[in-house]
Amino acid sequence: MAEMRKRVSDIASFPMRLQAYMAKCGVGSRRACEELIREGRVMVNNRVVREMGVKVEEDDIVQVDTETIELADRLYYIALNKPRGYVCTNYDPNEDRYARDLIGIRENGMLFNVGRLDKDSNGLIIFTNDGDFANRMMHPRYEVEKEYIVKLDRDVVIDDLTRALNGIYIDIPKPYRIKRYDLMPRTKEYVRITLIEGKNREIRKIFSYLGYDVKSLTRIRVGCVELGDLKPGEWRNLTREEVSGLLNGRGGDNGRKRRITVKAKEEGHGNRD
């Protein structure tokens, strides 16, 4: 989708806030970039910057962890079917299988994931080098839906799902809560769960608290973008309509009417550009 790979230089204007510049360079979302600044990991013209109000000019030299960053030449929006066993972080000394490495483009080193799927989960995850886009997708205010198929170790009880709808306090002051559930056809071990905010390991924590063991967890939708027939390890560029739909808050309620029988494979690699 060449039309989705527009040049960043066409939409960049200076002076620019440091965190915005970092986001456009593909460092991460604006919130993630702000955290890097607070940690003292960012330098502008060889000076460490910790405050948020700093603006940079086009010829300023910006470094993150001593590495010079530059505006990305193009913006990418990519859907990946992350296999189980891969991590979404871009660096962890204890890991050797990174989801980003499955994306076969020359610039994949500048991509970062929008939201996360934990190592033991699989399914749809979006990668981009557009920090503004990522910030909007991850901000709770925009209520981007994420839909999952969950396999449990036993038949699910409706009263438990009702408790999850109402909210459960587990380990933080805010409740863990699902937005919607749908029972799968001909089985009570599988349930389709829709979240909005998506706290860390939220689904696993909810069902563990309710006495279940999650056997598998597959994300099948983010907003209007669906996993579809992407095989584990495969990826594709989002269409212009999908990117617009995500930014405009379009969901995928029509997907509730389908009879989904997804059983995610955990092996296989490839790409579908």
Q: Which CATH architecture has domain 144-222?
A: 2-Layer Sandwich (3.30)
Per-residue pLDDT, 262: 40
Instruction: Report the C-alpha gap between 167 and 165 in whole angstroms.
Output: 6
Ordered mean pLDDT values, 10 residues apiece, the chain (273 residues): 46 84 84 92 96 93 92 90 93 88 88 91 95 84 92 96 96 94 91 89 96 98 96 97 89 46 40 52
Task: Report pLDDT for 251.
Answer: 65
Q: Are strands 62-64 and 214-222 parallel, antiparallel or unpaired?
A: unpaired
d(Cα 219, Cα 80) in Å, to the nearest integer? 11
Q: Provide the pLDDT for residue 11.
A: 52
What is the spatial distance between Cα 40 and Cα 58, in angstroms, rounded to a whole number?
22
Pairwise CA distance, residues 70 & 155, whole Å? 52
Q: What is the dihedral of CA 94, 97, 103, 105, to 10 degrees?
A: 60
The strand pairing partners of 190, in sequence order, are: 151
Q: Which residues pair with 218 in a beta bridge?
A: 122, 149
DSSP state of 3: G
Answer yes or no: 171 catalytic.
no
pLDDT score recorded for residue 55: 95
* Closest to 139 in 3D by CA, of 102, 104, 157, 114: 114
CA dist list (Å): 115 to 138, 199, 231? 6, 10, 20
d(CA 137, CA 127): 11
Compute how many other C-beta atoms are within 10 angstroms of the C-beta atom of residue 221: 22
Give the model's pLDDT for residue 263: 39
Q: Is 269 exposed, middle or buried (0-12, 13-18, 19+ CB in 10 A)?
A: exposed
Question: Which residue out of 60, 118, 132, 182 is catalytically annotated?
Answer: 118
How many Cβ atoms sit within 10 Å of the Cβ of residue 209? 16
Scanning 16-107, the segments in alpha helix (DSSP H) are 18-24, 30-38
CATH number for the region 2-69 comes to: 3.10.290.10
Considering the segment(s) 77-141+230-250 as one domain, its CATH architecture is 2-Layer Sandwich (3.30)
Identical fold, 77-141+230-250 and 144-222: yes
Residue written as token pair 């002076």: 15
pLDDT score for 143:
86
pLDDT digits 0-9 by tens, 67-120: 999 887 788 999 999 999 999 987 788 898 999 999 999 888 888 899 889 999
Domain ranges of the chain: 2-69, 77-141+230-250, 144-222
